[in-house]
Amino acid sequence: MSVAIYPGSFDPITYGHLDIVERAAAVFDRLVVAVLRNPRKAALFDEDDRIEVIRRAIAEELPPEVGRRVSIDRFDGLTVEAARRHGAGFVVRGLRAVSDFESELQMAHFNRKLAPGIDTVFFMTALEHAYLSSSLVKEIARFGGDVRGMVPAAVAERLQSVAAGWSADPTVG
């Protein structure tokens, strides 16, 4: 059975990520979406929120057979350690543009050095989602922009309620 791990910050998950989940689930028998808990990086959503919206996005927006192959977990520490825990032989990452390639290549080499039995597999982000980034989506929401169509409905709802809090108190966010 082929198992892959798809690690990321997912703060929050976008349609670019969700598309990679669907396509990777068609290639591997099992896909673990692994949400990084990174105390050094200030996240807008805590892991529980990030996991909850990923769960809803998969259930609400992907076919049920995809959902059956995908699980969600959180991790801190090394991606390759999380991969080992799940028995994953592959790390999945998306490439939106050439600008992503350099850092992703470096990460893939580091990960292979650390765990020679684990390979990185890249999926090219679908053209219609290639402009998306979690940080810019957050910025757009921050200034009251409409993020539907960029992120799953569960995320858009969550961002809207967070943004409502920001506009009520302009000193936060």
Catalytic positions, written as ranges: 17, 41, 96, 134
Location of structure tokens 């992120």: 151
State how far the Cα of 137 lies from the Cα of 58, in Å rounded to an integer.
Answer: 19
CA-to-CA separations, 33 to 18, 139, 142, in angstroms, rounded: 10, 24, 26
Nearest residue to ligand PNS on Cβ basis: 8
Spatial CA neighbour of 34 closest among 1, 67, 83 = 83
Binders of ligand PNS in range 65-94 (CB under 6 A): 78-79
Interface mask toward ligand PNS for 16-55; x: CB under 6 A? --------------------x-------------------
Residue from the set 7, 12, 16, 89 that interacts with ligand PNS by CB under 6 A: 7
Spatial CA neighbour of 61 closest among 2, 121, 3, 17 = 17
- The nearer residue to ligand PNS, 1 or 40, going by C-beta atoms, is 40
Nearest distance, CB of residue 23 and ligand PNS, angstroms: 17
Who's near 153: CB < 8 A, 6+ residues apart? 57, 60, 61
Binders of ligand PNS in range 106-135 (CB under 6 A): 107, 110-111
# residues contacting ligand PNS (CB under 6 A): 9
Q: In the complex, which residues of this chain contact ligand PNS (CB under 6 A)?
A: 7-9, 36, 78-79, 107, 110-111
